[in-house]
Amino acid sequence: MSLYQSFGVDPIINACGSVTRLGGAPMSPEVLKAFQEAASEWVPLEQLQAAASKKIAAHTGAEAGLVTSGAAGALTLGTAAILAGHNMRRIEQLPHCDEFPHEFIIAREQRSGYDHAVRAAGARLVEVGFNEIVSNAGVRRTESWEYAAAITENTAGIVYVHAADSQPALPEVVEVARQHQLPVLVDAAGELPPRDNLKAILATGADLVVFSGGKAIRGPQSTGLLCGKRELISSAALQMLDMDDHFELWQPPADLIDTSLFQGLPRHGIGRALKVSKEEIIALLTALELFASGAYDEQNQEFQSWLEMIGEELELAQVHATCYLATPVSNERWPLLDIHIDEEAVGTAFKVCQRLRQGTPPIYVGHAGLHEGMLTINPLCLTAQDARTLAVRLCEELK
Ligand SMILES: *Cc1c(COP(=O)(O)O)cnc(C)c1O
């Protein structure tokens, strides 16, 4: 019996990838070993975060960094840092910030449920641009002058969601922000691989960049990275770390928190609810090392062979579906298998997806293309045995 079954929960086959809903990315044996070893000793967390900052800086080219509770936690902390800096009154007031600039400009087309993490710190989002291409009412996307035109004395910063085709390009937005001495907070949670993005996004001059630790980096799914300007990371650390000490004794590493900026010891900040454990910090740093070194790349060949096998099995079984194996150009990425199903013959993709989830074992496939009649197989969280089971179940459902 699996551990989860002993708690009354059936494990699933995850053909969906590193999604949070299903438990995140697989952790390598090195990462798990580091997690376990880290649990057997104790360290002051401010010292550990200061050491993490140096590692993160080395991998990203940022001045400093922080291990956070997911990219979402990093967005809240980054926003809190921009809003409050080292102002003790503001730190205490968050998320209430009527007394000081608290508006963040964001392109309307970049809004998503994740910006709740920015609003959670107290920021108010001010939208610019339209979504005219989606509404089929125009041909232009957001333009950088629209950010400039929206800046007022209430503006605290700009939030930018990074994607390969984001418009306007990040350097243009950073330029507008520079001209008005405003910080830019970039959500790049899922923008790895390519590995280059660890450095390239910060190299645009963005003040803070957020990455998820539980996606391609394959750290604990509850972790993330906040990296960028030293002062802002310092404020974020201060608002996250536990503050239950005496001012006379408080000696955080000076490169993380400069105590001379304070007249007393701040209370727990808004980020105290977003704490990370020593084990999570060590595990994420171990995973970051593996990711950045390219250690995960060699597994992509194996992933490819599993998807080829599934495609061949489906073809042999003459199922009511056509497979398309998308082999990536870069060896940093793993392939995906798209299965276009004949909905007349076997029911809608939604129905097939549901039958797979309700089967034994439950199987969760990628569901981004259901409206187009397509299932996607992401091999990241599969084992060789899972891949065989998946092939059998797909043949049954698509026959
Ligand atoms: C996944 C994701 C997040 C959240 O990341 P977590 O590490 O799960 O908190 C935020 N923003 C975007 C764009 C994402 O894709």
Summarised one tens digit per residue, pLDDT across range 65-121 is: 999 999 999 999 999 999 999 999 999 999 999 999 999 999 999 999 999 999 999
Residues forming CATH 3.90.1150.180 domain(s) in the chain: 3-21+297-398
Cα-to-centroid distance, 337 and ligand 1 (Å) = 23
Q: Is the predicted pLDDT of residue 25 greater than 90, yes or no? A: yes
Contact indicator for 208, 81 with CB cutoff of 8 Å: yes
Q: Is the predicted pLDDT of residue 180 greater than 90, yes or no? A: yes
Cα-to-centroid distance, 245 and ligand 1 (Å) = 33
In the structure, what pLDDT confidence band is assigned to residue 281 with cuts at 50, 70 and 90?
Answer: very high
CA 172 vs CA 146, 169, 188, 206, 332: distances in Å = 11, 6, 17, 11, 28
Beta strands in the chain (DSSP E): 13-15, 64-68, 103-107, 124-128, 155-161, 184-187, 208-212, 224-228, 321-326, 336-341, 363-365, 374-377
Share of the chain above pLDDT 90, in %: 98
Residues forming CATH 3.40.640.10 domain(s) in the chain: 29-293
> What is the number of the ligand 1 atom nearest to the C-alpha of 223?
7
- The residue length of the chain stands at 399
* Domain 29-293 belongs in CATH node 3.40.640.10: yes
pTM summary value: 0.97
Q: Is the predicted pLDDT of residue 28 greater than 90, yes or no? A: yes
Cα-to-centroid distance, 50 and ligand 1 (Å) = 24
Ligand 1 first shell, C-beta below 6 A? 20, 70-72, 114, 161, 187, 189-190, 212, 214, 224
Written as six digits, the tokens of 148 are: 């400039």
Strand-pairing partners, residue 208, are 185, 228
Smallest CA separation from ligand 1 atom 14, residue: 189
Whole-number pLDDT of residue 327: 84
Task: Tell me if residue 78 falls in helix, strand or coil.
Answer: helix
What is the fold, at CATH topology level, of the domain defined by 3-21+297-398? Aspartate Aminotransferase, domain 1 (3.90.1150)
> What is the number of the ligand 1 atom nearest to the C-alpha of 162?
13
Smallest CA separation from ligand 1 atom 8, residue: 70
Contact indicator for 232, 82 with CB cutoff of 8 Å: yes
How far apart CA 206 and CA 170 sit, in angstroms, is: 8
Q: Is the predicted pLDDT of residue 328 greater than 90, yes or no? A: no
> What is the number of the ligand 1 atom nearest to the C-alpha of 161?
13
